[in-house]
């Protein structure tokens, strides 16, 4: 049994090496053929232990990376794949992962080999090396040893870690909306003497291309140019960015710019303004042209923006009162002394206005509005009221408050116009006299009030007296009213009598006039009637005479007269002839004539009445 097992092993001995070869095939290929497999997501860093033969057996002094096959770290890293001839006894190959830079970040690179950095610079210059993936190109194109001005953007990169060290992975610099970035570079030329910041350089894409900045003559240190909101790929080894708010100019203000950098400017104010230079925008000095309300990217290192209010500014000389602008926070109540030796305090409010066009002149002269207040307004107003109080008694000063205020307004306005400031108004606030003067004034006031009280009481007594008189008068008022009513009734009665008499007289006058008129009319009518009757009778007589003859008419009239007087002309019994001839008897003739005359008279009367009417 044992012999059989041994025989089997002897007959199948070759199986053992085959199994070992299958298990350790990589090691066998590496040992005998120098095979090296680089995985897909890695690269091989090659270190050559020695050189068997050749003139480049060792690296030159100061070199770390072998460019020509010398012993040491090799410049060329192995990309993923299979390689032969890298025997373990001569080469040591280390696997390294790809360098991954996340999105929104950059990789800061430092080189272990290359030329020394020269020219006083701090960073190695940028060379074409495919973002540091081609180490050979980096060294052959003059790459410099040390921190690099270039960086690795986001992505996966095959970086030979034997040459390059990704020192740091930093986020992209983000400038939020409404803010600015103030840049300080760490490389470039040294600033000229007297300058505090580097002038603006073009062509470097807002400091993202550091090599272009240096090539175009950029200076190290604080830069005049700022970067606005956005994302920027700025190498922190090359530049620091300080994020600041944009500088606002509020409504009813003007922004006066004081520039500490720029070319020396020529004063544009002329000979009329001798208190400072005003220059054009972009030059060093106070700019004559200010900024209107808005937000501006002002570099606080190189420029200063003084916001000057163009609205009315109220300044209070009072211990317990200050405006929101705080320009009067250091002002206090003014203490004055009167001509009669009294010391007292008074509060004053001064309203000023700085025109927009004069704001740069104010800043050029004083540097700020606060300096204007402390250097001009405070001594001017304080001294005016001290002088005014010194020339007047305390009580007179208090009494003449309105006149003092008007005079102060004029005098202070005249004084401030020289400083390009308009004095709108001067107002005297609370005046606090000394206690002893207050006591005198109080006693005087009390006496005046007592006098007023006495006068009031006396007036009250007078009013009371008048009230009693009025009451007594009111008590007799009904009798007075009754008497007045009787008088008025008597007047009305007399007036009625007079009116009635007048009416009667007028009536009688009218009646008399009517009667007279009637009599006149009747007289005229009667006269006309008599005339008509007379004429009628005359006409009757004429007719009668003509009809019967004058002798016969006379006989008829005699007979009528005798009849009217009842005188019998003939006897009551008359006998006459009856033959009927010869014209009849006398009686017949008389009767006939009477009848005819009667008829004629009747017609005449009717005719006369008709004429009268």
Residue ranges covered by each domain of the chain: 2-97, 99-247, 253-433, 511-571+580-612
Mean pLDDT for the stretch of residues 193-202: 92
To the question of domain 253-433 being in CATH 3.30.479.30, the answer is yes
Is residue 280 within 8 Å of 237, Cβ to Cβ?
no
User: What average pLDDT does this structure show over 311-340?
Assistant: 88
For 244, the 3-state DSSP assignment is strand
**Structure-derived torsion over alpha carbons of residues 248, 250, 255, 261, reported in degrees to the nearest 10:** -10
pLDDT tens-digit readout, 355-384: 999 999 999 889 899 999 999 999 999 999
Task: Say which range, 238-252, 413-427, 473-487, has the weakest mean pLDDT.
Answer: 473-487
Q: Please state, in angstroms and rounded to a whole number, the distance separating the CA atoms of residues 363 and 352.
A: 15
Between 599 and 374, the higher pLDDT residue: 374
Distance from C-alpha of 370 to C-alpha of 285, rounded to nearest angstrom:
19
Q: How many whole angstroms separate alpha carbon 221 and alpha carbon 259?
A: 17
Answer yes or no: is pLDDT of 246 > 60: yes
For residues 497 and 92, what is the distance between their CA atoms, to the nearest angstrom? 162
Query: Whole-angstrom Cα distance, residue 282 to residue 165?
Result: 43
Cα dist. 492→70, 118, 228, 483 in Å?
157, 138, 107, 14
Helices (H), 257-377: 359-366, 369-372
Q: Are 339 and 384 in contact (CB under 8 A)?
A: no
pTM value is 0.62
Question: Is 305 within 8 Å of 248 (Cβ atoms)?
Answer: no
pLDDT of residue 320: 78
588 DSSP assignment: H
> b/e for 364-375, b at 16 or more Cβ within 10 A?
bbbbbbbebbee
Report whether pLDDT(70) > 70. yes
Is residue 59 within 8 Å of residue 67, measured between CB atoms?
no
Contacts of 602 (CB under 8 A, 6+ apart): none
Interatomic CA distance for residues 224 and 596, integer angstroms: 165
What token pair was written down for 482?
A: 């009754």
Which two tokens mark 550? Answer: 């004058």
pLDDT tens sequence across 199-215: 999 999 999 999 999 99
Residue 294 pLDDT = 95
Asked if pLDDT for residue 143 goes beyond 90, the answer is: yes
Which contacts (CB < 8 Å, 24+ apart) does range 560-566 have?
A: 560/594
For residue 460, the Cα-to-chain-centroid distance in whole angstroms is 56
Q: Which helix (H) or strand (E) holds 530?
A: helix 477-548
Q: Please check whether residue 169 is in contact with residue 108, taking contact to mean a CB–CB distance below 8 angstroms.
A: yes
Q: At 445, which helix (H) or strand (E)? A: helix 435-475
pLDDT exceeds cutoff 80 at 251: yes
Distance CA(111)–CA(152), nearest Å, equals 13
> pLDDT category, 580, cuts 50, 70, 90?
very low
Question: How remote is the C-alpha of 22 from its chain's centroid?
Answer: 92
Sheet of 179-185, strands arranged across: 221-227, 179-185, 239-245
- The pLDDT-based confidence of 22 (bands split at 50, 70, 90) is low
Length of the chain: 613
Phi, psi angle pair for 341, to nearest 5°: 90, 0
Residue whose tokens read 């606060």: 370
Residue-averaged pLDDT of the chain: 81
| 410 against 584, higher pLDDT | 410
């Amino acid at each position: 049994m044992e012999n059989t097992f041994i025989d089997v092993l002897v007959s199948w001995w070759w199986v053992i090496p085959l199994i070992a070869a299958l298990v350790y095939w990589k090691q066998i290929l590496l040992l005998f053929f120098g095979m090296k497999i680089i995985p897909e997501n890695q690269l091989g860093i090659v270190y050559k232990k020695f050189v068997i033969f050749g003139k480049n057996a060792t690296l030159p002094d100061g070199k770390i990376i072998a460019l020509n096959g010398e012993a040491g770290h090799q410049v060329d890293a192995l990309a993923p794949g299979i390689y032969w001839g890298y025997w373990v006894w001569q080469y040591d190959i280390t696997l390294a992962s790809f360098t991954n830079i996340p999105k929104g970040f950059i990789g800061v690179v430092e080189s272990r080999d290359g030329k020394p950095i020269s020219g006083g610079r701090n960073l190695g210059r940028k060379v074409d090396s495919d973002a540091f993936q081609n180490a050979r190109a980096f060294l052959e194109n003059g790459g410099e040893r040390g921190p690099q001005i270039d960086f690795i953007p986001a992505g996966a990169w095959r970086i030979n870690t034997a040459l390059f060290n990704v020192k740091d992975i930093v986020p992209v610099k983000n400038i939020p909306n409404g803010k600015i970035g103030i840049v300080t570079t760490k490389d470039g030329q040294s600033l000229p003497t007297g300058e505090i910041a580097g002038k603006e350089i073009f062509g470097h894409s807002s400091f993202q291309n550091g090599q272009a900045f240096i090539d175009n003559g950029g200076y190290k240190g604080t830069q005049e140019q700022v970067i606005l909101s956005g994302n920027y790929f700025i190498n922190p080894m090359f530049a620091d960015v300080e994020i600041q708010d944009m500088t606002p100019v509020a409504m009813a203000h003007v922004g006066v710019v004081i520039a500490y950098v720029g070319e020396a400017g020529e004063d544009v104010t002329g000979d009329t303004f001798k208190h400072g230079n005003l220059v054009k925008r972009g030059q060093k000095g106070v700019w004559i042209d200010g900024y209107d309300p808005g937000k501006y990217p002002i570099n606080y290192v190189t420029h200063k923006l003084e916001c000057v209010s163009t609205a009315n500014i109220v300044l209070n000389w009072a211990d317990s009162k200050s405006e929101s602008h705080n320009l009067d926070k250091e002002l206090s109540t003014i203490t004055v002394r009167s001509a009669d030796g009294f010391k007292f305090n008074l509060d004053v409010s001064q309203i000023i206005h700085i025109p927009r066009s004069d704001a740069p002149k104010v800043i050029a002269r004083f540097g700020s509005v606060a300096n204007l207040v402390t250097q001009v307004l405070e001594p001017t107003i304080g001294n005016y009221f001290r002088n005014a109080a010194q020339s007047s008694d305390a009580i007179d000063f208090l009494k003449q408050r309105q006149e003092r205020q008007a005079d102060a307004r004029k005098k202070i306005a005249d004084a401030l116009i020289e400083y390009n400031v308009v004095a709108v108004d001067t107002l005297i606030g609370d005046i606090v006299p000394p206690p002893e003067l207050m006591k005198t004034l109080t006693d005087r006031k009390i006496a005046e009030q007592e006098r007023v009280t006495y006068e009031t009481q006396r007036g009250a007594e007078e009013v009371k007296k008048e009230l009693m008189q009025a009451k007594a008068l009111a008590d007799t008022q009904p009798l007075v009213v009754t008497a007045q009513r009787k008088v008025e009734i008597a007047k009305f009665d007399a007036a009625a009598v007079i009116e009635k008499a007048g009416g009667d007289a007028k009536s009688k006058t009218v009646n008399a006039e009517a009667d007279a008129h009637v009599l006149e009319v009747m007289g005229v009518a009667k006269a006309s009637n008599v005339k008509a009757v007379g004429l009628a009778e005359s006409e009757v007589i004429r007719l009668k005479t003509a009809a019967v003859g004058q002798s016969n008419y006379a006989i008829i009239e005699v007979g009528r007269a005798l009849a009217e007087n009842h005188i019998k002309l003939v006897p009551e019994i008359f006998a006459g002839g009856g033959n009927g001839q010869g014209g009849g008897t006398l009686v017949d003739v008389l009767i006939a004539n009477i009848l005819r005359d009667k008829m004629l008279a009747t017609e005449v009367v009717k005719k006369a009445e008709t004429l009268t009417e």
